[in-house]
Amino acid sequence: MKWMLVAIIAVCNTLGDVLNTAGMKRQDEVEDLRPRTFAHMAAGIFRNPLVLAGFAALTVSFVALLSLLSISSVSFAVPATAISYLLETLLAKYVLGEDVRLRRWAAAGLVASGVVLLSF
Amino acid sequence: MQATSLKPLKGVKFWDQHARKTQILVLVAVITNVLGNVSLSHGMHQVGPMLAGSLLDYLKEFAKALENPWTILGICILMVWMLSDLALLSRADLSFVLPVTASAYVLVAISGHFLLHDRISWERWTGIALITLGVILAEETPDRTTKRPSERRL
């Protein structure tokens, strides 16, 4: 059950971030920090099916996290976070078409291992 | 535009300007992430553990938690975080945003050490060092490598 929840968290978290990225790339780039720019962005989100699907996936991930925390300690949620970093980088390269080379792979790997060590 | 744009220097390319604005958004996202989580955590500790037998009990506990000012403050700051994170994703790669915003972990650990006098074990110091290295490596890559919709049409 625990590992099932870890898998759900990692997959839904990854799916949510990838959908949000794909969706946000279809909207105008946010160019500045003016409130009007953010209001324009927020209005666009509600008409953006990809971002709405991303929110749904992140909600499932959050509920699964709450369930996991209720049956085990926080440290059990760490593998899910670490796996997400690697899975998201993989999808960023092959689904979103980002230019992921050695530096970004190294960055994702270092952060994932750092997150694991921080839980000690 | 006025709020964030810096005077363009002679010879500075478009991408340098683009990266600078992305860095400002990264800063906002990281700071709101840390402040929001610290505030929410402080509030939830004051409220106490949420023990509920049924969904209705759980919702009641949740409503009670919302009466705590720290909880409300935390939620408000995290909403700003969510918006700044989405703004970041509108202009930068996911494989750039992810490692770079992980600096929030470092900030939480370090501020816990200095403000709350948390002891940091050598494993955690190693974790902090690895994440910092990852952030620096990702920072050195261009913030956006995919084409904009307008460029695709050309």
Question: Mean pLDDT, consecutive 10-residue segments, chain B of 154 residues?
Answer: 46 71 94 90 79 75 86 93 95 96 92 81 94 96 86 58
For A21-37, what is the mean pLDDT? Answer: 91
Other C-beta atoms lying within 10 Å of the C-beta of residue B153: 7
Q: Tens digits of per-residue pLDDT, A56-103? A: 999 999 888 888 887 887 777 888 889 999 999 999 999 999 999 999
Q: Which token pair is A59?
A: 């909600």
Residues 73-92 on A with a CB inside 8 Å of B are 85, 88-89, 92
* Average pLDDT of the segment spanning A37-57: 95
A34 to A30, A38, B4, B80, B132: CA distances (angstroms): 10, 7, 9, 13, 30
Greater confidence (A12 vs B115) lies with A12
Interface mutation vs chain A, best among B55, B89, B132, most A CBs within 10 Å? B89
Kindly report whether the global pTM for this prediction surpasses the value 0.90.
no
Q: Is B82 on the interface with A (CB under 8 A)?
A: no
Amino acid residing at A22: A
The confidence score (pLDDT) of residue B122 equals 93
Q: 3-class SS at B100?
A: helix
The total number of structural domains in chain A stands at 1
Q: Which two tokens stand for residue B113?
A: 């050490």
Strand ranges, E, within chain B: none
pLDDT (0 to 100) of residue B12: 53
pLDDT at residue number A11: 96
Which residues on A lie below 8 Å from B91 (Cβ)? 29-31
Shortest distance, CA A120 to any CA of chain B (angstroms): 6
Most distant CA pair in chain B, distance: 65
Residues of B in contact with A103 (CB under 8 A): 137-138, 140-141
Q: Which DSSP string corresponds to A71-114?
A: HS-GGGGHHHHHHHHHHHHHHHHHTS-----HHHHHHHHHHHHH
Q: Which domain holds residue A59?
A: 2-118
Residue A73 confidence (pLDDT): 77
Contact A27 B90 (CB under 8 A): yes
pLDDT of residue B5: 45
| ipTM value greater than 0.85 | yes
Tell which A residues from 6 to 65 touch B, by Cβ distance under 8 Å: 17-18, 20-21, 24-34, 38, 41-42, 45, 51
Q: Which residue has the tokens 């099916």?
A: A49
Residue contacts between A and B (CB atoms, under 8 Å) = 152
Distance CA A61, CA A116 (A): 19
Instruction: Please give the C-alpha separations between residue B68 and each of A66, B61, B64, B71, in angstroms, as whole numbers.
Output: 20, 12, 8, 5
DSSP summary character for residue B54? S
Return the pLDDT at B51: 66
Q: Which two tokens stand for residue B89?
A: 């994703």
Side-chain half-sphere exposure of B1, counting CA atoms within 13 A? 3
Whole-number pLDDT of residue A92? 97
How far is the C-alpha of B53 from the C-alpha of B41, rounded, in Å?
Answer: 22
Give yes or no for residue A111 having a pLDDT over 70.
yes
Amino acid present at B59? L
How is residue A46 written in tokens? 């509600």
Res B11: pLDDT: 47
**Residue A13: what pLDDT?**
96
The answer to whether B150 contacts chain A (CB < 8 Å) is: no
Tokens of A93: 């390269």
Percent of chain A scored above 70 by pLDDT? 100
pLDDT value of position B15:
65
Phi-psi region of B117 (alpha: psi -120 to 50; beta: other; left: phi over 0): left
